[in-house]
Amino acid sequence: MTKGLEPIAIAANGLLDRRTFIKGGAAFAATLSGYTETQGATAQPLTDDSWSLIPGATTPPYEQRSRFEAKVTRTLTNPKGEARVQNARTPLHLSQGTVTPNGLHFVVAQSGAPDIDPAKHRLVIHGMVKRPLMFTLDALERYPKVSRMAFIECGGNSAPMFSPQPIQANLQTLHGMVSCSEWTGVLLSTLLAEAGVDPEAKWLIAEGADAPTLTRSVPLKKGLDDAMIALYQNGERLMPANGYPMRLFLPGWEGNMSIKWLRRIQVTDTPGMTFPESKTYTQLLPNGKAYQFYFVEEVKSFITQPSPGLTMNGPGTYEISGIAYSGEGCIKRVMVSADGGKTWAQAALQAPVQDKAFTRFRLPWRWDGSPAILQSRAYDDAGNVQPTRAEFVTERGELKAPLPPAAFPNQHFNGITSWAIDAKGEVKHVYA
Ligand SMILES: Nc1nc2c(c(=O)[nH]1)N[C@H]1C(S)=C(S)[C@@H](COP(=O)(O)O)O[C@H]1N2
Ligand SMILES: [Mo]
């Protein structure tokens, strides 16, 4: 390494200053080991491979990714579509940046994706309003639209973390029920203004067109704030399983309230106390109280690279990378530890850092080949700090026995995740 460019270690076990890549530039980058072999790319003479000698494939009307990427897929809990809930989890450990491709967006569907004819679908707004309204998709299309980046997370995401012993599974299984997209649609406030909401109204009850329908109560305040009738996902129409042709989208709130295949919003003065919100989405706390109508997905982060299944390629310099998000605002800071939380280094946040959206963090790390425990801890601009797992379970509870990763009776885990690296470079899930 060039003299004067020696990276500065700022926390134990080799965590380097987040500006190292910028300051050290090419000289530093040349020392990177990577999780796959990157060395040996020396100036050998190029030979022509077979694909360089013939014309390439014809461009199809709708592009598919490279056949070599076919293994980057969602994992399915109900691949045969039996009569129970279907979950598909996003491969966050094989993704980069902050946007989830539509084909990899996580899904929770109580009874599969209905095959809705957009020309026949209707959205009704009724109840405590001056003018009940009915919209076709074409009618909605004529309203002013907004686009925003936002994550959506199932309240049951990360439920395996309630297990008393760390479940040995990869990031996709542990935390794969969160995704982030650019959503475009009509603000619900625009439609509610047209309907004329009764001043006594306090709640909205939203219903989907799937069978059985998922019905949830939403405080009117959220409906008048940033709630959206989403029509597009990353620039194209919603995917069938994500709510085609329209869904409610409540930025930062537990996914189950963002009703897909939305067909009805009833304006009321009391919550519906519907079956799913009385049972599934109400949790008993260690203090004996029922935890109902807790909506926000709290500040959270996890390291995506390295993570279980991504083996380290010998001692050397790596980039630790992950995602952070908060349902209460923007990510302000992410700290990373390589010694199980004793010392911390501040990670670089990749711009743009957006409200209620994924924020990518990165930090250079010089791994000397000895065991290490990696953690990340996020802070948001509303003053919230991601709790340690121990802090979290003291307040919200823990399960008595380990459950299969697919079960999620407990909700809203946002504690710190720990990855142990052993001398062989294997990554394991641990509680630290
Ligand atoms: N109509 C309807 N809306 C629904 C669901 C459903 O089964 N039916 N699942 C909910 C749950 S539990 C979650 S977490 C989110 C997931 O949204 P996604 O599948 O687009 O990721 O949709 C919610 N909206
Ligand atoms: Mo969910």
Q: Best-predicted range by mean pLDDT among 175-189, 266-280, 307-321?
A: 175-189
Name 318's Cβ contacts closer than 8 Å, sequence gap at least 6.
32, 33, 34, 35, 306, 312, 364, 365, 366, 367
Q: What is the mean pLDDT of residues 292-305?
A: 94
The two three-digit tokens of residue 163, written as one number: 């297990």
E strands of 188-234, at which residues? 203-208, 215-219, 228-233
CB 321 within 8 A of CB 372: no
The per-residue pLDDT for 154 is: 96
Percent of the chain scoring above 90 in pLDDT: 78
The ligand placed nearest to the CA atom of residue 411 is 2
Sign (positive or negative) of CA dihedral 51, 52, 54, 59: positive
The model's pLDDT over 104-128, given as tens digits with 9 standing for 90+, comes to 999 999 999 999 999 999 999 999 9
The per-residue pLDDT for 403 is: 58
Listed residue (151, 230, 221) closest to 187, CA to CA: 230
189: enclosing H helix or E strand: helix 188-195
* 279 confidence band (pLDDT: 50, 70, 90): confident
Sign (positive or negative) of CA dihedral 287, 293, 296, 297: positive
Residue whose CA lies nearest to ligand 1 atom number 20: 242
Q: pTM of the predicted model, to two decimals? A: 0.93
Q: Are residues 286 and 397 in the same domain?
A: no
Q: What is the mean pLDDT of residues 301-307?
A: 98
| Probe target for ligand 1 pocket from 92, 105, 108, 358, with the most ligand atoms within 8 Å of CB | 108
Q: What is the mean pLDDT of residues 230-253?
A: 98
What count of other Cβ atoms lies within 10 Å of the Cβ of residue 406?
Answer: 15
Residue whose CA lies nearest to ligand 1 atom number 11: 256
Which of 237, 263, 291 is at the close of a domain? 291
The model's pLDDT over 28-78, given as tens digits with 9 standing for 90+, comes to 665 666 665 344 556 677 889 999 999 999 999 999 999 999 999 999 999
Q: Are residues 208 and 305 in the same domain?
A: no
With H, G, I as helix, E, B as strand and everything else as coil, classify residue 159: helix
Name 124's Cβ contacts closer than 8 Å, sequence gap at least 6.
132, 133, 134, 135, 263, 264, 265
CB 36 within 8 A of CB 94: no
| pLDDT reading at 232 higher than 80 | yes
Q: Ligand 1 center to residue 177 CA distance, Å?
A: 11
| CATH number of the domain encompassing residue 416 | 2.60.40.650
The per-residue pLDDT for 396 is: 86
Residue 161 lies inside a defined structural domain of this protein: yes
346: enclosing H helix or E strand: strand 345-346
Q: Ligand 1 center to residue 83 CA distance, Å?
A: 16
The per-residue pLDDT for 311 is: 86
Residue 163 lies inside a defined structural domain of this protein: yes
Q: Are residues 231 and 190 in the same domain?
A: yes
- Per-residue burial over 336-373, b if 16 or more Cβ lie within 10 Å, else e, is bbbbbeeebbbbbbeeebbbbbbbbbbbbbbbeeeebb
Which of 291, 314, 332 is at the close of a domain? 291
The two three-digit tokens of residue 288, written as one number: 């004996």
Q: Are residues 228 and 364 in the same domain?
A: no
Beta bridge partners of 229: 186, 248
Q: Are residues 215 and 327 in the same domain?
A: no
E strands of 63-187, at which residues? 75-76, 86-89, 107-109, 123-127, 133-135, 146-153, 178-187
Residue 32 lies inside a defined structural domain of this protein: no
Domain membership of residue 353 as a residue range = 300-430
Residue 214 lies inside a defined structural domain of this protein: yes
CB 375 within 8 A of CB 340: yes
Sheet of strand 86-89: strand arrangement: 75-76, 86-89, 107-109
Beta bridge partners of 218: 204
The per-residue pLDDT for 402 is: 61
Residue whose CA lies nearest to ligand 1 atom number 22: 256
The ligand placed nearest to the CA atom of residue 230 is 1
**Rounded Cα distance, 327 and 359, in Å:** 12
Residue 99 lies inside a defined structural domain of this protein: no
Q: Ligand 1 center to residue 179 CA distance, Å?
A: 12
Q: Are residues 275 and 314 in the same domain?
A: no
Q: Are residues 380 and 398 in the same domain?
A: yes
With H, G, I as helix, E, B as strand and everything else as coil, classify residue 34: coil
CB 11 within 8 A of CB 345: yes
List the end-to-end C-alpha distance of the chain, in Å, as a whole number. Answer: 34
Q: Are residues 276 and 349 in the same domain?
A: no
- Which residues have any ligand 1 atom within 6 Å of their CB? 105-110, 152, 154, 208, 210, 213-214, 241-243, 255-256, 258-261
Residue 67 lies inside a defined structural domain of this protein: no
Q: Are residues 195 and 320 in the same domain?
A: no
- Using the atom order of ligand 1, give the atom closest to the CA of residue 254: 14
- Using the atom order of ligand 1, give the atom closest to the CA of residue 243: 20
Q: What is the mean pLDDT of residues 327-347?
A: 98
Mean pLDDT of the residues in the chain: 91
Residue 371 lies inside a defined structural domain of this protein: yes
Residue 1 lies inside a defined structural domain of this protein: no
Q: Are residues 278 and 346 in the same domain?
A: no
Which of 272, 291, 310 is at the close of a domain? 291
| pLDDT reading at 378 higher than 60 | yes
| CATH number of the domain encompassing residue 220 | 3.90.420.10
Counting the structural domains of the chain, the total is 2
**Rounded Cα distance, 382 and 372, in Å:** 31
The per-residue pLDDT for 37 is: 39
**Rounded Cα distance, 258 and 239, in Å:** 15
Q: Are residues 317 and 279 in the same domain?
A: no
Q: Are residues 305 and 409 in the same domain?
A: yes
The C-alpha torsion from 214 through 216 and 222 to 226, rounded to 10°, is 0
